[in-house]
A and B are shown apart, each in its own frame.
Chain A
């Protein structure tokens, strides 16, 4: 029998870390697959943000080098790292929406504006997962969170932040795309986006930004299946998938 599919060497066979129905596990897997397929496991440094994205640690421990960073600062740490490491080092950040779009907004915009030759993988699940479901910069209007118990009110706390569109106002980035994990075909497209982001770095091109739409059944208070439905009916309407720039 020919073996046609197996676990990527870049990810450990472990359980736990992410909640049932969370797409972080899928994203970690496809990052691992791309890293292995491109022969980059021993050259990769994963710069990890703070939040649920930090749980990537257990999955790639022993396989890929990692750097934990202060909350929101991953693009700044990645900047120093990429500038001073051998240029074939693959440096990517793994950040959530609080990390990237709130506390680290300055760092992400300036890393993008400098055209740092890094890849940013930004997981948008519209909530602060690890801290227990507070309002995120990407929480939808009307969406309930522990700090917007009656739902997000634009008059009070403004509107969801659209990171791809924001970064698309800058000249330096070479690749800006929003993908999703809600269906198998979309997951395959997300994987190709990651591949493209890594290839840009290998080719010495500039800044690549991949926003991956995800869900958070635990903090949305929905079953995994209903979370996907909510995503498709609401989240993806606010954050439509598509490539904004591919230079």
Chain B
């Protein structure tokens, strides 16, 4: 196994290449410029294409085009840049294209600050684009997880023919840590996957041999399902309407229950729960250890997949035993806190502590916040 020392933004880039990504387009924005800079060097080495788009809007659409051509493709940006991509992400979902998007969040709203923050949880998990579209959202808490989840993102995207969002922050992007990189996927594997997708990519009619398609950014999922069935049995299997497409997406979202991933640490005997995701979750984990040393029975719930949200991790908490849940985020007001509260249904008191504006959470602050809620 290869163990290297890398920045998170570079680990995401290298893991993407190893997962089979052969096209990247993006527009410079701090704090994630190391991702495009790395790929500008790396992609040509594997026969891929790197393009610096003239804007985030153009970049996401270039990625869409590359995916339609049959390539695994990704983009990355930060907060305000992801907002600019909203239309394209929604259209990529509508066109059932398995693209990957990485958001290394910075402070907001608006241009905010270039410093790290967790300001886009609600955007990422609830409304990444118009039209009620949802993505699986993966939230790494360190460089290793950033690499692993990027690799996983390409698998999930291909499986679902749906974009996947990596929701990291500026800390993850800029921090250097040792990382064991995932294995390089072979050209044969990638070609096999491309062929499996040939009913829903286009290099012209010759791509599939049974007629033309419109890679439908209208009613896309119904069109895609029908294109697949035409390849297999020669007739459409679902009504080509927006409503039937919406139902198909809803069915897809239901299947994601199986993709829920959450770290539960020292929760067995816990009387208190600290919770957070990404960098916030990592800080909470360190705070759990410190509080345990002080004699408090504290556990951690850290959602790794934040959409779908691991509500059961909170629902199953014993209200006779757990005295409160403290959610810590690099966002003011709390964003994941809304999901935590909804999952707890007022069974257990819940509190929130956060920093924003580029201030990175510190263990001592989380511990102070914890202490302030003790009886």
A residues sitting closer than 8 Å to B (CB atoms) are 40-45, 47, 57, 60-70, 73, 76-86, 89-90, 106-107, 109-110
B217 within 8 A of A: yes
**Do A106 and B204 touch across chains, with their CB atoms under 8 A apart?**
no
Q: Which residue of A lies closest to B217 (CB)?
A: A68
Residues of B within 8 A of A68 (CB): 95, 214-218
| CA of A64 to CA of B211, assembled, Å | 8
**Do B212 and A60 touch across chains, with their CB atoms under 8 A apart?**
yes
B320 within 8 A of A: no
Contact of B212 among A64, A85, A110 (CB under 8 A): A64
Q: Which residue of A lies closest to B59 (CB)?
A: A76
Residues of B within 8 A of A63 (CB): 205, 212
**Interchain nearest-CB distance for A55 vs B (Å):** 12
Contact of A70 among B25, B62, B216, B217 (CB under 8 A): B217
Residues of B within 8 A of A64 (CB): 204-205, 212
**Do B73 and A84 touch across chains, with their CB atoms under 8 A apart?**
yes
Indicate with 1 or 0, residue by residue over B104-123, a CB within 8 angstroms of chain A CB atoms: 00000000000000000000
Residues of A within 8 A of B61 (CB): 69-70, 73, 76-77, 80, 107
Chain B interface residue count, CB cutoff 8 Å, equals 41
B53 within 8 A of A: yes
Besides A77-B62, A84-B65, A84-B70, 18 more A-B contacts (Cβ < 8 Å) are: A57-B214, A63-B205, A63-B212, A65-B215, A68-B214, A76-B58, A77-B61, A80-B23, A80-B66, A80-B68, A83-B23, A83-B51, A83-B62, A84-B23, A85-B70, A106-B58, A107-B61, A110-B54
Q: Which residue of A lies closest to B201 (CB)?
A: A85
Chain B contact surface mostly: mixed
**Do B202 and A79 touch across chains, with their CB atoms under 8 A apart?**
no
Indicate with 1 or 0, residue by residue over B76-97, a CB within 8 angstroms of chain A CB atoms: 0000000000011001000100
**Interchain nearest-CB distance for A44 vs B (Å):** 5
**Do A70 and B87 touch across chains, with their CB atoms under 8 A apart?**
yes
**Do B202 and A77 touch across chains, with their CB atoms under 8 A apart?**
no
B residues sitting closer than 8 Å to A (CB atoms) are 22-23, 25, 49, 51, 53-55, 57-59, 61-71, 73, 87-88, 91, 95, 202-207, 211-218
Residues of A within 8 A of B68 (CB): 67, 77, 80-81
| CA of A78 to CA of B23, assembled, Å | 14
| CA of A69 to CA of B211, assembled, Å | 21
**Do A67 and B215 touch across chains, with their CB atoms under 8 A apart?**
yes
**Do B202 and A45 touch across chains, with their CB atoms under 8 A apart?**
yes
| CA of A121 to CA of B270, assembled, Å | 66
Q: Which residue of A lies closest to B214 (CB)?
A: A66
Q: Which residue of B lies closest to A113 (CB)?
A: B54
Contact of A80 among B69, B87, B207, B215 (CB under 8 A): B69
**Interchain nearest-CB distance for B25 vs A (Å):** 7
**Interchain nearest-CB distance for A241 vs B (Å):** 29
**Interchain nearest-CB distance for A194 vs B (Å):** 17
Q: Which residue of B lies closest to A86 (CB)?
A: B203
Known A65-B212, A68-B214; contact A44-B66, beta-carbon cutoff 8 A: no
| CA of A77 to CA of B69, assembled, Å | 10
Residues of B within 8 A of A57 (CB): 214
**Do B71 and A84 touch across chains, with their CB atoms under 8 A apart?**
yes
Q: List 11 A-B contacts (CB under 8 A).
A: A65-B212, A67-B202, A67-B215, A69-B61, A73-B61, A76-B57, A76-B58, A79-B62, A81-B65, A84-B70, A107-B54
**Interchain nearest-CB distance for A95 vs B (Å):** 13
Known A62-B212, A68-B215, A70-B217; contact A80-B62, beta-carbon cutoff 8 A: yes
Residues of A within 8 A of B71 (CB): 84
Residues of A within 8 A of B212 (CB): 60-66
